[in-house]
Chain A
C-alpha cells in the first residue's frame, strides 16, 4: 500500500519554505510551473483517458466532445468562465452526477483502462477510489476525529485507526492545529480548517485520485494559500484535478491546465474544451484565440 502521508515522504519539498502570504502575491506564472515542465508529459502514466465525452442534462447538451488525458501524480487544473461545465466534467469522473435526474454521458471514459460508465461498474467503488472535495467545506456534524475515522471504519480499515486519522490529518497539514481537540465538533473549525479536514477525510481512505471543485473559492486568501501549499505536497501521492475560476491559482498550482469555454449557438449554451496543455504554455503561448482572450482578461 502506498504511504498515506505525503509529509513522511523523503523527497524534499522545495516550495515548503514559501510562506502563505507569498503564495497569495505570487506572479501569474509561478517559477514552479516552468520547472515542472522539464519532465515530458508524454512519459507519465495516464489515469483518465477520455474520448469524445458528451454530457447531457435532460435534452440540454452541457458538455460537448471533450477528449483529454489526465496524468498520474500531476495537478491538472480546469479553468473557464462560470457555467462552462467544469463541475459537470469533474463530477462525471467519479460518477457524482449519477443522482442528478436526466444526467447522461456518452463517449469513452477510461480510468486506468476501465470504462467508468460500463454497466458492470459499481459507482460506489468508483467514488471510493476517486475522492472529491467540494467548493463549500462540508464536514459532518461529528467530532474532528470521527469525520476522518468514519469512512475507514465503514470500509473495513479498522486496524490502526488512530494512526490512520493522525496520518490523514498530518497529510492535510491540520494535525498540529487540532491534535488537542480531536473529540470536539468539526463545526467549530474555521472555514480553511474545515476544508483541510475535508481533504484529510478524503485521503484517510487512500484514494487514487482527488477531485477538487473550487476548493478555495469560499476561503480567505490565507486559507487559500495553505490549501494550495497542501496540493503541492499531495501530488506526490495522489493524482489531483482542481477546478478553479481563479487563473492565478491554476498558474500557481497546476502543471497541466485545461481551458473550457461556452459555445453559444441557436440560443443553446454548450461547454467545450478549447485547449489543454502545459500550464506555462496556456498562460504564455496559447494556441487558441479564445484561450488568449480569457487568460489575458479580455473575456470572462
Chain B
C-alpha cells in the first residue's frame, strides 16, 4: 500500500521537491519583506542625518533663532526647551493616571470590567492625533487661548493609553506567587501592589513611559492647534500663560517658509528630534530586555 520504498536511499520522493521549492520561495519573500522594513528605517535615518548634520553645532542647540522666521541663523534652543516642558507636563499628567488605570485592570477589576476598559484604551490609542487636537482646541483653546499646557493636555491624552497598556502588560508579568506571598503575610492588596508588584514591574513601567514620551514628542498636529502662536525668537517658560515654541512646529514652519537656510535648519531640527526619540526608544528597549531577564531568573 505504501507508495514509497522504505528501504531505498533517503533522497526526496513524491512531491517533496515541489514542496521544498514553495518553502524556499516563501521563505525568501518573507525575509525580503523583513529586510525592506529595516531598509526604510535606515534610509530615513540616513537622509535626515546627512542633511541635518551640517546644521548641528553647539550653537544650534544653545541659541535661539536670531531673526524672523524668514531670516537665517541661530539655533533651536527655545524649541528644545518648549518641547521638553510640554512633554514633561504631559508625562506628569499621563503617568500617574496611566499607572492607576493599569493597577485597576490587573489588580482589582473583574475580567468583565477589564475588557471594556482595555477596549476603550485601544480605541483611544487609535484616535488620529488631529482629532485629539481639535478636542483640546474646543475644550481649552477656544475659551482661554493657546498655551503650552493645552499642548501638554493633548499629548497626555495620546500618552495615556500607551502608558496604561504597557504598564498593565508588565504588571501581569509579575508572578502570582509574589502576590500570594505578600497576602499570606497579612498585607492588604494595595500595600501588596505598591510594595511588591510595582517594584517588580518598575523597569517595564519606565520602558512603557519612555516609549510613550518618544511617541508624544514627535506629535505635530495637536500642537498646531494648541501651541503654535509663539514668538519664534524668544525662550518662554510660561507654560500656562503662553504658547511655547517646540521642535515639531519649528520643523513644520521652517520647511514651509522656504529659503535654503530655513530648509537646512528644518533638517537640523528634524535630526535633533529624531536623535532624542531614537536614543529614548533604544534605551527603553534595553531596559525592558534587562528587566525580562531579571524576572525570568
**Which residues of chain A are within 8 angstroms of B185 by Cβ–Cβ distance?**
127-128, 131, 151, 201-202, 205
* Interface contact B177-A136, CB-CB below 8 Å: yes
- Which chain B residues numbered 177 to 236 have a C-beta less than 8 Å away from chain A? 177-178, 180-188, 191, 195-196, 199-200
Is there a chain B Cβ closer than 8 Å to A57's Cβ?
no
* Interface contact A154-B195, CB-CB below 8 Å: yes
Q: Mark A205-223, 1 if CB is under 8 A from B, else 0.
A: 1000000000000000000
What is the bound-complex CA distance between A101 and B113, given in angstroms? 14
What is the bound-complex CA distance between A133 and B210, given in angstroms? 38
Q: Which of A96, A141, A155 has the most CB of B within 10 A?
A: A141
**Which residues of chain A are within 8 angstroms of B180 by Cβ–Cβ distance?**
96, 132, 134, 138
Is there a chain B Cβ closer than 8 Å to A187's Cβ?
yes
Is there a chain B Cβ closer than 8 Å to A193's Cβ?
no
Is there a chain B Cβ closer than 8 Å to A294's Cβ?
no
What is the bound-complex CA distance between A151 and B195, given in angstroms? 10
* Interface contact A187-B186, CB-CB below 8 Å: no
How close is A141's CB to chain B, nearest CB, in angstroms? 6
How close is A184's CB to chain B, nearest CB, in angstroms? 14
Q: Mark A118-140, 1 if CB is under 8 A from B, else 0.
A: 00000011111101111010111
Is there a chain A Cβ closer than 8 Å to B294's Cβ?
yes
Tell me which of B184, B195, B196, B294 contacts A127 (CB under 8 A): B184
* Interface contact A154-B187, CB-CB below 8 Å: yes
Q: Which of B180, B181, B188, B195 has the most CB of A within 10 A?
A: B181
* Interface contact B186-A134, CB-CB below 8 Å: no
Is there a chain A Cβ closer than 8 Å to B175's Cβ?
yes
Q: Mark A84-128, 1 if CB is under 8 A from B, else 0.
A: 000000000010100101000000000000000000000011111
Q: Across the interface, name the chain A residue whose C-beta is closest to B294.
A: A141
What is the bound-complex CA distance between A133 and B180, given in angstroms? 10
**Which residues of chain B are within 8 angstroms of A70 by Cβ–Cβ distance?**
none
What is the bound-complex CA distance between A141 and B175, given in angstroms? 11
- Which chain A residues numbered 150 to 174 have a C-beta less than 8 Å away from chain B? 150-151, 154-155
* Interface contact B195-A150, CB-CB below 8 Å: yes
Q: Which 7 A-B pairs have the closest CB atoms?
A: A128-B186, A138-B177, A132-B184, A151-B185, A138-B181, A127-B186, A124-B188
Contacts A141-B294, A154-B195 aside, 17 further interface pairs with beta carbons under 8 A come to A101-B110, A124-B183, A124-B187, A126-B186, A127-B184, A127-B185, A132-B184, A134-B181, A136-B177, A138-B177, A138-B181, A140-B181, A141-B178, A150-B195, A151-B186, A151-B187, A155-B186
